[in-house]
Structure formats: C-alpha cells, structure tokens
C-alpha cells in the first residue's frame, strides 16, 4: 500500500469509528479508504450510505451500464482509485477486460451496444457541458428509462464528488488487483 502524503485527510480505521456507524461497518466488514475518510463525519457518512447503496446495488441501470458510467467518470476525473475499484466491480458485473479498456476510448469506440454507447456518451456530455442536451436526454431515457436517466445523473454526480474527495484527501489505493 502507498504511504500517505505529508498533508492528507487520513482514513479513520474501522476499529475506532464512531459507534453510530456500527451498522455500516457490519454491512461492509473492512472499510475502504474512502469510507474511512467519510467516517470523520459520522452524520455525513450515515446520510450518504443509503444513496451509495442504491447506486451500486439497486440502481435502475443494468450492472454493466452502471459500471461503465462509473469507470468513464473515473477516467474523466483521473481517479485511479475509483478506476481500480470499478474495473474490479465491472468484471464482476460481466464486463470483459476489453470492454473495461474500451472505456478509456469513450463512446465512439467500437463494440458498445446501444445502451452502453448512450450511457458513455452521456457521461462525456455531462463533463463537457454540465447538462444533457434534449437529444441526449431523450436517447438516454429511451434506452435506459426515466429511472435509469435519473440514476445515471446521480451516479455521475456522486462519483465526480467522490473523486474530488479522494483527490483532496490524497488517498492511496486500497489493496486491489491492478486492472488497466
């Protein structure tokens, strides 16, 4: 594991988390570094946890599309931390190593199905303009449904924010197998 830099917001080890966070610890077992950073503010972590759980476990997005959205967000935020976690999760969601690598190329790479291409293009548009155009919004809604559209918007927003927290805290990568 990489050493923390001189200034950082170091993760709080799970063993010393506020007692109010015990249900989250029980759910995750060993917390990741990002969880440990958020544990500095137990009320915030408690408020964020249900949304995080929805986005990664109960989203209207198919698991492959969800992971592509998060991976493309990781690429555009240059978050190696999120890339490593979600390359691993993407494989578990059925993405091939080729599909995971293709995320770096963006929506015009060959091999995407319509849902995947529209989702990856939507991430790029959100980063480029801060909003989806009417045309892109209608395409996303047609391919992924209205709940899928909203989950895509929230997923990009939350993971963009998390990437900022990770960069600010200068978190080292958790011990995960490297994927590129």
Question: What would the pLDDT profile of 65-115 be if each residue is shown by its tens digit?
Answer: 999 999 999 999 999 999 999 999 999 999 999 999 999 999 999 999 999
CB atoms within 10 A of CB 47: 11
Q: Where in the chain is the domain with CATH 1.20.1290.10?
A: 62-169
CB atoms within 10 A of CB 76: 18
- What rounded mean pLDDT belongs to the chain? 92
> By C-alpha distance, which of 142, 141, 59, 140 is closest to 67?
59
Q: pTM above the 0.75 mark?
A: yes
Mean pLDDT of 11-24: 94
Could you please state the CATH topology (level 3) that the domain comprising 62-169 is classified under.
Answer: AhpD-like (1.20.1290)
Whole-angstrom Cα distance, residue 15 to residue 24? 12
Cβ–Cβ under 8 Å, residues 120 and 66:
no
């Amino acid at each position: 594991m990489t050493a923390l830099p001189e200034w950082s917001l170091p993760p709080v080890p799970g063993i010393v988390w506020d007692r109010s966070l015990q249900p989250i610890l029980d759910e995750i077992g060993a917390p990741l570094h990002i969880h440990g950073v958020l544990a500095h503010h137990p009320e915030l972590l408690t408020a964020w946890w249900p949304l995080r759980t929805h986005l990664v476990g109960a989203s209207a997005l198919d698991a492959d599309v969800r992971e592509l959205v998060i991976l493309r967000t990781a690429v555009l935020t240059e978050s190696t931390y999120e890339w490593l976690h979600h390359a691993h999760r993407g494989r578990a969601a059925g993405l091939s190593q080729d599909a995971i690598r293709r995320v770096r190329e963006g929506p015009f790479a060959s091999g995407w199905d319509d849902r995947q291409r529209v989702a990856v293009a939507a991430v790029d548009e959100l980063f480029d303009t801060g909003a989806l155009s009417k045309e892109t919004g209608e395409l996303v809604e047609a391919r992924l449904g209205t709940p899928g559209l909203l989950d895509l918007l929230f997923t990009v927003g939350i993971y963009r924010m998390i990437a900022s927290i990770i960069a600010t805290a200068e978190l080292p990568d958790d011990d995960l197998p490297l994927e590129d």
